[in-house]
Amino acid sequence: LCSMSLTTVFAYGSLCEPKVLTTMLNRVPTMQLAVLHGHKRYRILNKTYPAVLPHEDSQVQGTLLLDLTDEEMAYLDAFEGDEYVRKSVTVVREDGEKIEAHIWIWAKVGQLSFFCFGYSVFCCIYVSVFIHFL
């Protein structure tokens, strides 16, 4: 028998959008709302996607993507590139349960805006442009 490892990811930007996931993975994984404490989401200058960095007294609302395969994780690692580094974090689901998940944290110095990343703006304006370049 072949065993397959399944991974949970905490998404906080473009990977929260089902259209993006369908374009990238040819499916939409099971999704659950969650919160990452001790981090903050930032806009990246001249980009349509956000970054997250550790930040005391802040939290990031996001989505858990459940049961991602090793192949899907390898694809997502390549997609995130060297702008991000994958780390393991503890997030809190809506039901209060704490769960370990992978996240891509911003790895560059600078390039961040003090303005918040607007997920609703991304969905309304940028998602079709974003998908076009995948």
Q: Is 134 exposed, middle or buried (0-12, 13-18, 19+ CB in 10 A)?
A: exposed
Return the active site residues.
80
Tokens of 47: 């980009």
* Residue 129: HSE in the Cβ half-sphere, 13 Å Cα cutoff: 9
Tracing tokens 């918040």 back to the chain, one arrives at 116
Kindly report the backbone phi and psi dihedral angles of residue 25, in degrees, each rounded to the nearest multiple of 5, phi listed first: -110, -5
The angle formed by the CA atoms of residues 42, 125 and 10, to the nearest 5 degrees, is: 45
